[in-house]
Amino acid sequence: MDNKSYAFTLSEILITLGIIGVVAAMTMPVLINNIKYHGYDGAKRKVLNSIGEAGRLLAIEGNLDGASDAETFVKERLSKKLSIAKMCDSAHLTDCGLPSKFLKTNGKTEMNMPTKMKGGTAASVFNYGSEETQAYADKNSYGFVTGNGYSVNLFYNGACIPDKSMSAMSTTTDSNGNPYKYYRIQDQMCFFAIYDMNGKGGPNVVGKDIGLVGVFYPNEETKAVAALPADYDYSGAGRGGAKSTRTFTTAPKACDDQFGKDYRMPDRDEAALMAMAGNLLGITNGGGYWSGSVVDSGLAWLQDFYGGNRYASPVTYGTYVRCVRR
């Protein structure tokens, strides 16, 4: 019988380890990014569930609107429906774990943590100066830390109103003389909040560890939305190229083409939330953006990122697309 023993040679072992190392080097960044994105998505859901449920309960009780400012709202109303571990005024947001500076969705442009919703300045949330509601205009934000550890910077509109019916909307005409309906979304948003899932730790980028949440309509229609927006607008030239327009029918394919199955069109309230956060998204030149919500067979909701108007627009109209994570 052959009593020889067999084993791998040193060179074979080294080659095998080298192959494993190459494969690991290729797959680890993808795995790490997937883990991070799952974390961002998880944070969005937790904040949405907690703040959204608190807003819904306050609306049922008739206490979502009518407070004088963000501090009063958080201390006297929100704190009764949401576990809050710490509160901070707008001059001391860092004490609640919020970074003093962060990056916009492109991951490159830095801005200061805003303390006012009023637009027209580089440090405000909404990017246009004359269209905010009276309630939002010059009121300071207020910060707090939730019981599960998320830092929140909240802007409050005590004069928020219910959603409008088609008959109550304003009417204008397009360049071809065709009439269409519109109204401002600032009036319907009761509060807007910037949240940070990991405090002052990085990467401090909007759409990643820093997210957006808003609560609309102070009645039985109350809806809370959160969005993790893509870091650039749809572009026929790809990432970083000049943004391109699409009709409503072809807009969803832009999300598939540019970002893959993890992204989709925002619904109309998510689009409104993103419009209110135009500065944070790096969209300061305004323009219309499609939502994924249909009005009827010939109309869909289009969101203006400049003045804040929501339009019932013909689906054949060509405008921009900003996708959000599913």
Average pLDDT over all residues of the chain: 87
Calculate mean pLDDT across residues 187-211. 90
Task: Give the helix ranges, DSSP H, for the chain.
Answer: 10-61, 70-76, 134-137, 251-259, 268-276, 278-281
Which of 296, 310, 309, 305 has the alpha carbon at shortest distance from 126?
305
Q: What is the pLDDT of residues 112-130, one digit of tens each?
A: 999 998 877 778 888 777 6
Per-residue pLDDT, 211: 93
Residue 36 scores a pLDDT above 70: no
Calculate mean pLDDT across residues 142-146. 96
Residue 32 confidence class, pLDDT cut points 50, 70, 90: very low
Calculate mean pLDDT across residues 76-86. 96
Residue 310 confidence class, pLDDT cut points 50, 70, 90: very high
Calculate mean pLDDT across residues 170-197. 88
Calculate mean pLDDT across residues 281-289. 81
Starting at the edge strand found earlier in the chain, the sheet holding 151-156 runs 84-89, 142-146, 151-156, 189-196, 210-216, 223-227
79-93, 120-134, 308-322: range with highest mean pLDDT: 79-93
Q: What is the pLDDT of residues 9-29, one digit of tens each?
A: 777 777 877 777 776 666 555
Per-residue pLDDT, 250: 94
The answer to whether the beta carbons of residues 312 and 182 sit under 8 Å apart is: yes
Which of 52, 38, 20 has the alpha carbon at shortest distance from 226?
52
Residue 33 scores a pLDDT above 60: no
Residue 168's identity, in one-letter code, is A
The answer to whether the beta carbons of residues 284 and 274 sit under 8 Å apart is: no
Per-residue pLDDT, 143: 97
Residue 63 backbone dihedrals phi, psi, to 5 degrees: -115, 15
Residue 161 confidence class, pLDDT cut points 50, 70, 90: very high
Residue 31 confidence class, pLDDT cut points 50, 70, 90: very low
Say how far apart CA 315 and CA 294 lie, in whole Å: 9
Say how far apart CA 248 and CA 252 lie, in whole Å: 8
Say how far apart CA 16 and CA 33 lie, in whole Å: 26
Q: How far is CA 57 from CA 50, 83, 189, 263, in A?
A: 11, 14, 16, 30
Residue 79 scores a pLDDT above 90: yes
**DSSP label at 91?**
G
Residue 262 scores a pLDDT above 80: yes
Residue 140 scores a pLDDT above 80: yes
Calculate mean pLDDT across residues 306-323. 92
Write the DSSP string, 6-19. Answer: ----HHHHHHHHHH
Per-residue pLDDT, 30: 47
Residue 296 backbone dihedrals phi, psi, to 5 degrees: -155, -165
